[in-house]
Structure 1
Amino acid sequence: MILRHAAPALLGLSLISGPAQALDLSAMSPDEKAEFGAAVREYLLENPEVIIEAVNILEQRNAAAEAAADKDLVAANAEALFDDGYSWVGGNPDGDITLVEFMDYRCGYCRRAVPEVDALLAQDGNIRFVIKEFPILGDASVMSSRFAIATKHVAGDDAYKQVHDALMEFGGDVTEVALRRIADGLGLDGDAIVAAMDSDAVTEEIAQTRELAQRLKISGTPSFVLGTEMLRGYLKADQMQQIADAVRAEQG
């Protein structure tokens, strides 16, 4: 039968080419539909790799669409990401590309990312680094972020980075006493920092970062933005370097 012999080719077109060349089953008679269904089943049983090929193509298309959507989100929120006026900036402040990290002090993968980010900044030398306090793992996370941000407000950027690093390594319960000890150990005014933790300025900074994360559809940590690219999850230094090189090449 002509329909039976044509079914594999028609099936391939419909699976790989997409809706534009989809079959119009409504134009078939009941007998033709039954015959076509039997032919398709027979073909797929004999050639299951066609299904895998179609799934792979669909996944590639979806990944490309998601990446394009993420680029649009980054572009639409560029000022809030790269120059919000309050987030700590490190690395090379004059770098030709910016890495933004949304992090949580109680996040295990954020802690694993610390040496990877440090290695990237050291080996590249031309990356600007922005830290976004994004506490999402409970009260201890919020308390830690409030303490770090309050340190920046009270004692400046260098003190913030010291506290940030200390909190990333801290393994105990997050309490006011523990935070004061961290401040004292770094030669900082723990009383002044603790007093500033619940200030409107600290609250507003956390709220703005949360709103930004919501617009970017970020729900987990660590999450990165590297140039124009959204990187959702933990990556090693060499992976981030490859992405940085690709972004630079794309930008010319």
Structure 2
Amino acid sequence: MRRRDLFRLAALSAVLALGAAPARAQALDVEAILNDPQAPTSGNPKGDVTIVAFLDYNCPYCKKSAPDLARVVKEDGRIRVVYKDWPVITEASVYGAQLALAAGFQGKYLAAHDALMGIPGRRIGEAQMLQAVAAVPGLDMKRLQADIEAHGQEIIALLKRNRAQADQLGLRGTPTYLVGPLLASTLDYASFKRAIAEARRRQAGE
């Protein structure tokens, strides 16, 4: 089977698996949201503020806010980011999430994430996503294929956990950011700065 077809079948299987699992009302598990061991992270692992980002690679507002999030994390130096791939817009969104998460087995999640967020436009197709990820420096595409085969069920399980957490939080779409104790949707640089300052103020008052 050609690599392109293998990736497509993996994406379709994820769609079916995600759609087959009914949402169930459960108590909110804050620890699972903040510290899922399989959820990709960036920034300062010992940061005093954690930003949990629920994102979709076909979401234009996610793409718009991504550079501002990266900028504030770099400048601040005390922020930890947890990425929750939450593909809710198209079938190709699931495919993109799979590619990024599979790249994580090579330590390339963030690079693949940035490449996918950098594709202009909305409703990006699978071919464009694959092309963007293939251009990530140092990413071994043969190994990526092998990791999708070997870890496909782990990736699907993570996406299902992300979806369940979004449901428990009552989220309505992407992007949604949990900035410390705060819940916000689309943010720009100045809004991220204000939310982070407010999160620190509230944490200091606890």
Give distance in 2, aligned partners of 1:185 and 1:122: 21
CA displacement 1:37-65 (0-9 Å, x = unmatched): xxxxxxxxxxxxxxxxxxxxxxxxxxxxx
Alignment match of 2:178 (pick from 225, 230, 234): 225
Larger of the two Rg values belongs to structure:
1
Normalised to the residue count of structure 2, the TM-score between the two structures is 0.76
Give distance in 2, aligned partners of 1:118 and 1:226: 14
The residue type paired with residue 98 of structure 2 is R
Alignment match of 1:137 (pick from 76, 89, 97): 89
The residue type paired with residue 112 of structure 2 is V
Secondary structure at the residue paired with 1:131? strand
5 Å-filtered alignment, 1:64-213, equals 76-153=28-105, 155-156=106-107, 159-171=108-120, 173-175=124-126, 179=130, 182-183=133-134, 185-197=136-148, 199-213=152-166
Listed as ranges, the gaps of 5+ residues in structure 1 are 1-74
CA displacement 1:61-105 (0-9 Å, x = unmatched): xxxxxxxxxxxxxx9432122101111111111111101100001
Contact preservation (8 Å) 1:105, 1:168: yes
| Cα drift, residue 192 of structure 1 | 2.6
Normalised to the residue count of structure 1, the TM-score between the two structures is 0.63
Contact preservation (8 Å) 2:65, 2:188: yes
% identical aligned pairs: 31
| Cα drift, residue 171 of structure 1 | 4.1
Contact preservation (8 Å) 1:176, 1:194: no
The residue type paired with residue 151 of structure 1 is A
Q: How many residues align?
A: 174
Relative contact order: is structure 1 or structure 2 higher (C-alpha 8 Å, sep ≥ 6)?
Answer: 2
Secondary structure at the residue paired with 1:87? coil
Give distance in 2, aligned partners of 1:137 and 1:106: 7
Larger helix fraction of residues: 1
Q: CA RMSD in A?
A: 2.2
